[in-house]
Amino acid sequence: MYKIYHNPRCRKSRAGLKYLESKGLTFEIVNYLADGISFEELKELLNILGKKPLEMIRKQEEIYRKNYKGKEFSEDEWIKIMVDNPKLIQRPIVVRNHQAVWGDPPENIEVL
């Protein structure tokens, strides 16, 4: 089964969800903005993705530009920032069988 970390207000995230639906795949939706995401869960996702925290931060977000742009933080500090401000997390993230991809563009999901 697939799991999609989804923001219903995000066009790219909706495209990833639509892609899963179009393929007839079974999936679980994680609305991490409403339900939150733990430090451990996000750290594991980043590990599975093979990405550093800074690679998965939405740098166009106002909160990033105002509070974090140009500042130095450890990887764990960036993860904590993302947990505290989940809007900063790139989306969607799709997981299956201990593999994960950033679903932008949605075709990235094919590798799972």
CATH number of the domain enclosing 93: 3.40.30.10
Query: Which residue in the list 4, 10, 89, 94 is annotated as catalytic?
Result: 10
Which residues span the domain enclosing 18? 2-111
State the average pLDDT over residues 67-81. Answer: 98
Tell me the C-alpha distance between 69 and 5, whole Å: 24
DSSP string, 73-89: --HHHHHHHHHH-GGGB
Number of domains in the chain: 1
Tell me the C-alpha distance between 49 and 89, whole Å: 13
State yes or no: is 10 an active-site residue: yes
Task: Specify the pLDDT at position 103.
Answer: 95
Task: Specify the pLDDT at position 99.
Answer: 96
Tell if the pTM clears 0.75, that is, is over it.
Answer: yes
Task: Specify the pLDDT at position 108.
Answer: 95
Give residue-wise pLDDT tens across range 1-57. 999 999 999 999 999 999 999 999 999 999 999 999 999 999 999 999 999 999 999
Give the number of other CB atoms < 10 A from CB of residue 103: 25
